């Protein structure tokens, strides 16, 4: 019995299962991070509305994405309203992507390359992050990739069930995020070129998917015309510098630009990945014609992988040249699995021992990147620890100034962890808590913020939550560190600093405790 069990783990299915378990374990660690940035918009939509309200809210200007992820997150959070359950659809999709990558690779570039692609998919910081974000990107990736796999299966045996799965997964991907259409359109064009015999069922399947998407056309039109779309497009220019940074972070780095490649994957990780790719290219150059012949034999399957890898980058670049800039790290997510498959094909194309060395170096580089991502310094801001400290030390009547707002509102990362039983005044962000922040929502001057906090505290304590970072506060000409300093400077007129506690993260969270100067430490019952 033991021999049979051991043998099963040496088969491709057993190896893929082991790779998937490793990928799931990495994602489980990151899944526990505090909610951050755009996740807070999902949290507000899901926690404050009924299922019908979720759909109508997403249809409005409050969101510029389709509704499927929000519906699934609403269902999972009926079990428990936690960060983990809010992220559950992304987590399950992210785990599923690993074996689906192998399935697509095994039918296009071979099992060896498919296994390499599955490994780097399991380890990729980009894929790990979006597998643990309460937004639709990873779900879209899984559904679009499933569509590709169903198409390949349908081409192989021509059974109707695979065409149905192809249509359903394509439609579901479009209902998750609009950028899915770039890969879906590219793979349809490839199919029409490479497999004329499958044109009729493929066109019928796509027609069915398009008809099923029709009820959301009004939502699509509203999102395309939304001021938010234009604002996001204007935040950074579409130029060579931006394109370079986006590609670097999409390929091997952390999804946020302020976490440099020197941090994730780190210098050693970058060297290993680069060495693996360089060794593979050198091997291909030396072999010359024989490798060119193997590339030719791999067509049209290799052509499919290349087309899918380039679909999102080229399409988004074209759109950005003529309209709103949509070229961003996260919007390229749908093409990442094909990029992984191409890398895997590249390092698997040489002869031994170069092929083994190239694949090993590539995998080792991504492994180091995954390890670096798990470090505390590379996790989301630890709002949970900040809220726990304040809840432990504060008493009724104490006031909190939240100078750490990095979300589209109306809830902040601190709100999600802290609750609403104490007075919280925001610095550098609107006080609005009924709708997402808009360009016309008023941001109180810092003097008003601190004066309101002092008046509300009535000589009791004030806690300030901030971010220690040179990242600029959205909508303001200051960084988070400068904002925190300005708040502290104003409080110091009537309050003294008692303690400072910092928690590591990509944006370190800081909690400062202040006491009124008129209150003697000895007279404070908590001291």
- Residue whose tokens read 């033991």: 2
In degrees rounded to 5, what are phi and psi of residue 512?
-115, 135
- The strand pairing partners of 426, in sequence order, are 402
Per-residue confidence band for 207, with pLDDT thresholds at 50, 70 and 90? very high
The domain spans of the chain are: 2-378, 383-523
C-alpha span between 394 and 463 (Å, rounded): 8
Pairwise pLDDT comparison (385 vs 4), residue with the higher score: 385
Pair 283, 345: CB distance under 8 Å: no
- The strand pairing partners of 515, in sequence order, are 496
Q: Residue 441 has what pLDDT? A: 87
Per-residue confidence band for 289, with pLDDT thresholds at 50, 70 and 90? low
SS3 category, 103: helix
C-alpha span between 76 and 480 (Å, rounded): 34
Task: Report whether pLDDT(272) > 80.
Answer: yes
Q: Residue 352 has what pLDDT? A: 82
Under CATH, which number does the domain 383-523 receive? 3.40.50
Pair 409, 436: CB distance under 8 Å: yes
Q: Residue 5 has what pLDDT? A: 40
Q: Residue 397 has what pLDDT? A: 87
C-alpha span between 320 and 25 (Å, rounded): 37
Pairwise pLDDT comparison (239 vs 132), residue with the higher score: 132
Q: Residue 296 has what pLDDT? A: 54
| Cα 246–Cα 174–Cα 33 angle in degrees, nearest 5 | 55
C-alpha span between 466 and 202 (Å, rounded): 53
Residues 296-300 have a mean pLDDT of 65
Residues 97-105 have a mean pLDDT of 97
Task: Report whether pLDDT(2) > 80.
Answer: no
Task: Report whether pLDDT(211) > 70.
Answer: yes
Residues 203-215 have a mean pLDDT of 97
Residues 493-520 have a mean pLDDT of 92
Lowest mean pLDDT among 83-97, 117-131, 257-271, 312-326: 312-326
C-alpha span between 522 and 527 (Å, rounded): 7
Q: Residue 231 has what pLDDT? A: 67
For residue 422, give Cα distances in angstroms to 398, 417, 463: 7, 13, 11
> b/e per residue, 240-275, with b = 16+ CB within 10 A?
eebeebbbebbbbbbbbbebebebbbbeebbebbeb
Task: Give the residue from 366, 376, 64, 329 showing the smallest Cα distance to 220.
Answer: 64
Task: Give the residue from 206, 209, 180 showing the smallest Cα distance to 191.
Answer: 206
In degrees rounded to 5, what are phi and psi of residue 134?
-80, 55
Omega within 30 of 0 (cis) for the link into 353 = yes
C-alpha span between 487 and 429 (Å, rounded): 13
C-alpha span between 199 and 259 (Å, rounded): 45
Per-residue confidence band for 468, with pLDDT thresholds at 50, 70 and 90? very high
Q: How does pLDDT run across 125-155, given as a tens digit for each residue?
A: 999 999 999 999 999 999 999 999 999 999 9
| Cα 99–Cα 100–Cα 105 angle in degrees, nearest 5 | 100
Q: Residue 475 has what pLDDT? A: 81
Q: How does pLDDT run across 364-414, given as a tens digit for each residue?
A: 999 999 999 999 999 999 999 999 999 999 888 899 999 999 988 899 999
Q: How many helices (H) and strands (E) does the chain have?
A: 25, 5
C-alpha span between 426 and 449 (Å, rounded): 7
Dihedral Cα 475, 480, 481, 483, nearest 10 deg: 60
Residues 236-251 have a mean pLDDT of 90
Q: Which of 58-62, 286-290, 337-341 has the highest mean pLDDT?
A: 337-341
Task: Report whether pLDDT(349) > 90.
Answer: no
Lowest mean pLDDT among 3-12, 153-162, 207-216, 470-479: 3-12
Task: Give the residue from 183, 178, 99, 177 showing the smallest Cα distance to 166.
Answer: 183
Task: Report whether pLDDT(507) > 90.
Answer: yes
What one-character DSSP code corresponds to residue 35? Answer: P
Task: Report whether pLDDT(288) > 70.
Answer: no
């Amino acid at each position: 019995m033991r021999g049979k069990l051991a043998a099963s783990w040496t088969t491709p299915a057993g190896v893929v299962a082991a790779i998937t378990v490793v990928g799931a374990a990495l994602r489980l660690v990151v899944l526990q991070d505090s909610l951050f940035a755009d996740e807070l918009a999902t949290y507000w939509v899901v926690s404050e509305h009924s299922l019908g309200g979720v759909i109508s809210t997403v249809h409005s200007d409050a969101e510029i994405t389709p509704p499927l992820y929000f519906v699934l997150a609403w269902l999972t959070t009926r079990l428990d309203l936690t960060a983990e359950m809010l992220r559950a659809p992304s987590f399950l999709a992210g785990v599923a992507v690993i074996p689906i990558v192998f399935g697509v690779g095994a039918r296009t570039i071979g099992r060896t390359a498919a296994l390499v692609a599955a490994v780097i998919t399991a380890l990729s910081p980009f894929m790990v992050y979006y597998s643990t974000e309460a937004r639709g990107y990873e779900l879209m990736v899984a559904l679009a990739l499933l569509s590709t796999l169903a198409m390949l299966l349908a081409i192989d045996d021509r059974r109707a069930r695979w065409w149905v799965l192809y249509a359903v997964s394509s439609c579901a991907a479009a209902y998750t995020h609009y950028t899915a259409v770039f890969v879906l359109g590219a793979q349809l064009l490839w199919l029409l070129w490479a497999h004329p015999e499958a044109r009729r069922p493929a066109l019928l399947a796509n027609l069915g998917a398009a008809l099923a998407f029709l009820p959301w056309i009004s939502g699509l039109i509203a999102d395309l015309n939304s001021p938010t779309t234009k604002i996001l497009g204007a935040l950074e220019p579409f130029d060579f510098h931006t394109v370079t940074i986006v590609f670097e972070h999409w390929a091997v780095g952390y999804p946020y630009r302020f976490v440099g490649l020197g941090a994730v994957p780190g210098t050693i990780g970058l060297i290993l990945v680069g060495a693996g790719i360089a060794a593979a290219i050198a091997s291909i150059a030396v072999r010359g014609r024989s490798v060119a012949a193997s590339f030719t034999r791999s067509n049209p399957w290799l052509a499919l992988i290349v087309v899918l890898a380039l679909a999102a980058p080229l399409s988004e670049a074209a759109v950005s040249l003529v309209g709103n800039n949509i070229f961003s790290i996260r919007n390229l997510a749908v093409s990442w699995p094909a990029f992984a498959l191409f890398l895997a094909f590249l390092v698997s194309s040489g002869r031994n021992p170069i092929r083994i060395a190239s694949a090993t170096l590539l995998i080792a580089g991504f492994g180091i990147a995954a390890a670096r991502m798990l470090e505390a310094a590379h996790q989301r801001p630890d709002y949970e620890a900040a809220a726990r400290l304040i809840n432990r030390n504060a008493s009724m009547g104490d006031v909190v100034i939240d100078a750490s707002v990095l979300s589209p509102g109306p809830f902040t990362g601190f709100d999600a962890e802290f609750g609403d039983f104490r007075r919280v005044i925001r610095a550098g962000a609107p006080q609005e808590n009924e709708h997402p922040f808009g360009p016309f929502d008023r941001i109180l001057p810092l003097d008003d913020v601190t004066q309101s906090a002092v008046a509300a505290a009535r000589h009791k304590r004030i806690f300030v939550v901030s971010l220690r970072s040179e990242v600029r506060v959205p909508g303001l000409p200051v960084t988070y560190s400068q904002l925190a300093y300005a708040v502290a400077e104003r409080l110091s007129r009537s309050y003294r600093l008692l303690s400072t506690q910092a928690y590591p993260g990509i944006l370190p969270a800081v909690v400062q405790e202040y006491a009124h100067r008129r209150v003697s430490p000895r007279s404070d019952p908590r001291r």
